[in-house]
A = this chain, B = another copy of it.
Amino acid sequence: MQDKLFEFISKYISLTEDEKNALVSLDLFRSVKKGATLLKEGKFSKESYFVLNGCIRTYYVLEGEERTTAFYTELDALTPPCVINKTPSEYYISCIEDSIILVSNSDMSVEINSKFPKFDIMCRMLSEELLAKQQINFDEFKTSSPEQRYLNLLQNRPDLIQRVPQHQLASYLGIKPQSLSRLRARILEKQR
């Protein structure tokens, strides 16, 4: 599992064996059970997450309804806005499958970054890259209909459609579960 992490990091910076050991000794890995909640609305948090294995999701509760806004799977990183802004969280984070997640605390990372300036560089590259990816994602969402979004998802993240419950997928696509059912039926209809 650590190998996965080092392979990911190596895309940005190269680490010496000493640095790798120092990183491992921090004991950041956490095993999380399906259904567990990592963050609740209204709570303060300093934790960032990096998914090594499994799947977590972020969702709001608006008027009693869950609105799923994102899924994070293998090698996805998430720093909730509440960590950056030092405000109470507006959403929940919960675990969809049994997962192995790297959890880092923003206090801790100040220390790490001063010890290993390389990490700062990686963080900057990462957040710039994420920003660009996020922008493209948003643009794609804006410029397409629910049906196109579903077809896109089928193309780009087909695993999600298998591993995530329909009603969560629906709200991720910006529609109701009933509409997703109908939409899927419509697509099958067309294919025939």
Contacts and interface: CB of A to CB of B under 8 A. Distances in A.
B62 A132 contact: no
Contact of A174 (B69, B79, B142): B142
The 3 closest A-B pairs by CB, nearest first: A81-B132, A84-B132, A124-B124
Given A124-B127, A127-B127, A134-B135, A143 B69 contact: yes
Contacts of A24: none
A60 interface: yes
A165 to B, nearest CB: 18
Contacts of A143: 60, 62, 67, 69, 174
Given A124-B127, A131-B130, A138 B69 contact: yes
Contacts of A135: 81, 134
A129 interface: yes
A85 B127 CA distance: 13
A136 interface: yes
A91 B136 CA distance: 10
A120 B120 CA distance: 9
A166 to B, nearest CB: 17
Given A69-B138, A69-B142, A81-B135, A128 B129 contact: no
